Structure 1
Amino acid sequence: MTHMFRTAGLLRSGYDIDQVDEFFTHARKAYEGEVPEQMTGRDVRLGAFDMVRGGYRAEAVDGALDRLERAFVTRQRAEFVATHGQQAWLEHLASQARTLYGRLARPDGERFAPAPRHEQGYEPDDVDALCQRLIDYFDNGQPLTSDEVRHAHFRRAKGRDAYGEPAVDAFCDRAIEVLLGVE
């Protein structure tokens, strides 16, 4: 049997082969216009698979997902620019970027609500460091890529000493969308 990706081996866990194959088959059909429903870069980014013994190696699938997301965003940008023009695309991106500014303007340690009591969350110093990189990108033109945001690592913290994960994850998703739109 031919697989789309290398497997993790029989004794190691990886992404469920059937789920991954189904996702990539559907994504290819959506990209080529063979299915009626639209698929976006965000849909690709939010794709998730069960971990199973003997599944696909996660790093190989994750790399392919990153490339697939970029392809969908590139196509979306080209279609938008063809219909509305380059200036409208830049205004669209600026509007998306403005949604990030509210959090970026807050002081370190106060950008996101704390994690619920006794629950795991993200170390605020790590998240704030990424926010500072975004500020430097927007305000000073410092380099930053969507991959750097996508692969940012936040140490774990607990309860009131942590930022709640859902708001941070949603913020990072929006930052990735904005960065992909200009890359």
Structure 2
Amino acid sequence: MSEGMFKTVSRLRSGYATDEVDEFFDLARRAYEGKEAKPLTGHDVRATAFDIVRGGYATGAVDSALDRLEAAFIARARQEFVAAHGQQAWMERLADGARSLYGRLTRSDGEKFVRPHRGAAGYAPADVDALCHRLVGYFDRGEPLSAHDVRSATFRRRSGGAGYAEGPVDAFCDRAVEVLLGVE
């Protein structure tokens, strides 16, 4: 067990580099308390990555804490935006974010995203399309879907022309998470 912020895994297993995690969470705390010159956003939290090392922090615990931290930064941004511009302006901002997703959602299955370069890894289109159907259900029919559902979605691997390129799918999922967190 570590004396740090999270439980560590055994020296035979891999986890996140403890010094990197501790440094990031210290920065996040200072930013949340307004003690940092550069503010931190939910997107900054979501984009954070740590090296994998033997005996590091258990990844599941750190990932869960990052999810909560991201939600806290987005909730604060919402509170500040609503205080400055009003609830209606916030809802319009979220609607704009949802509309930015909708272009892909209306494309035919198997054609929602570009294909990876030849030999490059990608995601199974059927898996990604299924998540897109869930997003349509959420936006059009109010079916339940949470940011956690999108964050934890997994897609089988496909390479080359048999898959969707990972980068655009990941960026799309990030935007969907941001919209969903703005509502939650």
Alignment of 1:71 with 2:72, yes or no, is: yes
- Which secondary structure does the structure 2 equivalent of 1:117 belong to? coil
- Secondary structure at the counterpart of residue 164 of structure 2: coil
- 1: CA distance between counterparts of 2:10 and 2:4? 13
**Secondary structure class of the residue paired with 2:10:** coil
Per-residue deviation, 1:115? 1.0
TM-score where L is the length of structure 2? 0.98
Residue 15 of structure 1, CA deviation: 0.1
CA distance in structure 2 between the aligned counterparts of 1:170 and 1:101, rounded to whole angstroms = 14
Output the CA distance in 1 between the equivalents of 2:15 and 2:47. Answer: 17
Q: Distance in 2 between matches of 1:105 and 1:26?
A: 40
Unaligned runs of 5+ in 2: none
Give the equivalent residue in structure 2 for 1:35.
36
Q: CA deviation at 1:180?
A: 0.2
| 1:59 equivalenced with 2:63 (yes/no) | no
SS in 1 for 2:118: coil
* Aligned-residue offset at 1:32: 0.3
* Residue 3 (str. 1) matches residue 10 (str. 2): no
The Cα RMSD (Å) is: 0.7
- The aligned runs of 1:18-33 (5 Å cut-off) are 18-33=19-34
Deviation digits for residues 63-104 of structure 1 (CA, Å, limit 9, x no counterpart): 000000000001000000011000000000001111001100
Percent identity between the aligned chains?
A: 62
Partner of 1:94: 95
Displacement, 1:11? Answer: 1.0
Report the equivalent of 2:136.
Answer: 135
CA–CA distance in structure 2, aligned partners of residues 90 and 35 of structure 1: 29
CA distance in 2, matches of 1:148, 1:115: 25
TM-score scaled to structure 1, two decimals? 0.99
Query: Counterpart of 2:120?
Result: 119
> 1:160 corresponds to which residue?
161
Task: Say how many residue pairs are matched.
Answer: 183
Aligned partner of 1:174 in structure 2 is 175
Paired letter, 1:175: A
Equivalent residue number for residue 46 of structure 1:
47
Cross-structure match for 2:148: 147
SS of the residue 1:62 aligns to: helix
